[in-house]
């Protein structure tokens, strides 16, 4: 099993993204592989910096981290161990830590999932940030637009309800996987990848129009807007992709055919000259350049002129 697959299994075993407490996924060596939003808030660190640390770097006493790690490796789990962690400024935070080993594909553990629950009451700023985050989450889940949240490598972190409903994919299908390799046709992968890279360095959103492949292999025409969310050090935290499905609009436009411009028409026989220089009768030209079709009849004047005997009877 690939490394990304192991990380995905560990993430979901801890209900990673929707946990109310800080959740960290680390290698058995202690290197941090992933951290959810609560963990970033607790450590007061951006994601890019968090993933450069080891578990011991989050403890006021690194030796206590080593002891916990050894106990975890021996017992496969720890629960509600009292520890003192610290944030990015070195401020100590009393907390309780729990953890489990994960055995994805062998008898040897390869991943550690730990949860950290602070013992102190959240500050007013933390509480305000949490309310704001819940508000944004509510908007994402009620908007009709497609929303995909990507990390700085283009891997899926979150999708909203509209995306799930329209494409048939769930976050379980896509989490940790590269977005353009999973849902775009081969001919558009390099184009979207370039748009993604431009977004990482751009100061304003970038628009892109392309095809999105659904779970049942339908192809949707989508207009995307890619926006980079950056930290204070200008590193990328997330890329937000919002999309509008214009498939039905494009199909409707393709069915509309109109006549416009100047049409060269013969003054006598009323034939029309087409773009290739051929003269066509009026109904043939209109049929080829519109959605109209013809059924033939006879007006009263022509009936009197060409069939006067029948015209008198019909009067």
In a domain, 258, yes or no: no
Segment 308-312 mean pLDDT = 68
In a domain, 265, yes or no: no
204 and 105 fall within a common domain: no
Q: Which residue has the higher pLDDT, 104 or 197?
A: 197
Interval 40-79: pLDDT, tens: 988 999 888 998 999 889 998 888 888 888 888 888 888 8
Number of Cβ within a 10 Å radius of residue 260: 6
154 and 64 fall within a common domain: no
**Which residue range(s) make up the domain with 242?**
127-253
28 and 109 fall within a common domain: yes
Average pLDDT, the chain: 81
72 and 106 fall within a common domain: yes
112 and 72 fall within a common domain: yes
Interval 149-195: pLDDT, tens: 998 889 998 899 899 999 999 888 888 888 898 889 999 999 999 99
Q: Which residue has the higher pLDDT, 11 or 157?
A: 157
pLDDT > 80? residue 110: no
pLDDT-derived band at 14, boundaries 50, 70, 90: very low
pLDDT > 60? residue 7: no
Alpha carbon distance, N-terminus to C-terminus of the chain: 89
In a domain, 305, yes or no: yes
153 and 202 fall within a common domain: yes
In a domain, 306, yes or no: yes
155 near 177, Cβ under 8 Å? yes
Segment 254-273 mean pLDDT = 73
In a domain, 266, yes or no: no
Q: Which residue has the higher pLDDT, 252 or 99?
A: 99
Output the pLDDT for position 107: 64
Segment 192-211 mean pLDDT = 89
Output the pLDDT for position 286: 75
Interval 113-135: pLDDT, tens: 899 988 865 666 666 767 777 77
pLDDT > 80? residue 263: no
pLDDT-derived band at 37, boundaries 50, 70, 90: confident
Q: Which of 60, 88, 120 is the last residue of a domain?
A: 120
Lowest mean pLDDT among 13-27, 205-219, 235-249: 13-27
239 and 161 fall within a common domain: yes
133 and 116 fall within a common domain: no
Segment 217-222 mean pLDDT = 92
Q: What is the pTM of this model?
A: 0.47
Q: Which of 60, 94, 120 is the last residue of a domain?
A: 120
Q: For the chain, how many structural domains are there in total?
A: 3
> What is the CATH number for 112?
3.30.450.20
pLDDT-derived band at 241, boundaries 50, 70, 90: very high
Segment 282-293 mean pLDDT = 74
In a domain, 261, yes or no: no
51 and 166 fall within a common domain: no
110 and 148 fall within a common domain: no
7 and 60 fall within a common domain: yes
Q: Using H for helix, E for strand and C for coil, what is the string for the chain?
A: CCHHHHHHHHHHHCCHHHCCCEEEEEECCCEEEEECHHHHHHHCCCHHHHCCCEHHHHECCHHHHHHHHHHHHHHCEEEEEEEEEECCCCCEEEEEEEEEEECCCCCCCCEEEEEEEECCCCCHHHHHHHHHHHHHHHHHHHCCCEEEEECCCCEEEEECHHHHHHHCCCHHHHECCEHHHHHCCHHHHHHHHHHHHHHHHCCCCEEEEEEEECCCCCEEEEEEEEEEEECCCCCEEEEEEEEEECHHHHHHHHHCCCCCCCCCECCCCCCEECCCCCEECHHHHHHHCCCCCCCCCCCHHHHHHHCHHHHHHHC
Q: Which residue has the higher pLDDT, 140 or 91?
A: 91
In a domain, 259, yes or no: no
303 and 237 fall within a common domain: no
What b/e sequence results for 211-249 when a residue is b if at least 16 CB atoms lie within 10 Å of its CB, and e otherwise? ebbeeeeeebbbbbebebeeeeeeebebbbbbbebeeee
Output the pLDDT for position 250: 75
Q: Which of 120, 153, 168 is the last residue of a domain?
A: 120
In a domain, 263, yes or no: no
* Phi and psi at residue 243, to the nearest 5°: -130, 150
């Amino acid at each position: 099993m690939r490394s990304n697959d192991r990380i995905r299994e560990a993430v979901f075993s801890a209900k990673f993204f929707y946990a109310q407490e800080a959740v960290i996924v680390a290698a058995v060596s202690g290197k941090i592989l992933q951290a959810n939003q609560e963990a970033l808030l607790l450590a007061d660190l951006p994601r890019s910096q968090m993933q450069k640390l080891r578990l011991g770097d989050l403890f006021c006493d690194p030796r206590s981290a080593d002891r916990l790690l050894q106990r975890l490796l021996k017992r496969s789990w720890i629960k509600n161990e009292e520890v003192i962690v610290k944030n990015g400024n070195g401020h100590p935070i009393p907390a309780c830590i729990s953890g489990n080993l994960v055995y994805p594909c062998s008898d040897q553990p390869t991943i550690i999932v730990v949860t950290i629950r602070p013992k102190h009451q959240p500050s007013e700023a933390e509480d305000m940030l949490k309310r704001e985050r819940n508000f944004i989450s509510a908007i994402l889940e009620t908007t009709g637009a497609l929303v995909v949240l990507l990390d700085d490598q283009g891997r899926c972190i979150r999708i909203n309800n509209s995306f799930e409903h329209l494409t048939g994919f769930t976050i379980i299908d896509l989490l940790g996987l590269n977005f353009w390799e999973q849902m775009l046709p081969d001919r558009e992968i390099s184009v979207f990848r370039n748009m993604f890279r431009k977004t990482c360095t751009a100061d304003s959103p970038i628009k892109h129009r392309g095809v999105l492949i659904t779970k049942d292999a339908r192809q949707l025409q989508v207009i995307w807007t890619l926006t980079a969310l950056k930290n204070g050090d200008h590193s990328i935290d997330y890329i937000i992709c919002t999309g509008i499905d214009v498939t039905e609009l494009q199909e409707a436009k393709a069915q509309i055919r109109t006549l416009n411009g100047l049409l060269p028409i013969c003054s006598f026989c009323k034939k029309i000259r087409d773009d290739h220089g051929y003269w066509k009768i009026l109904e043939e030209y209109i049929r080829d350049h519109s959605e109209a079709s013809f059924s033939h009849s006879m007006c009263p004047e022509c009936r009197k002129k060409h069939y006067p005997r029948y015209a008198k009877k019909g009067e």
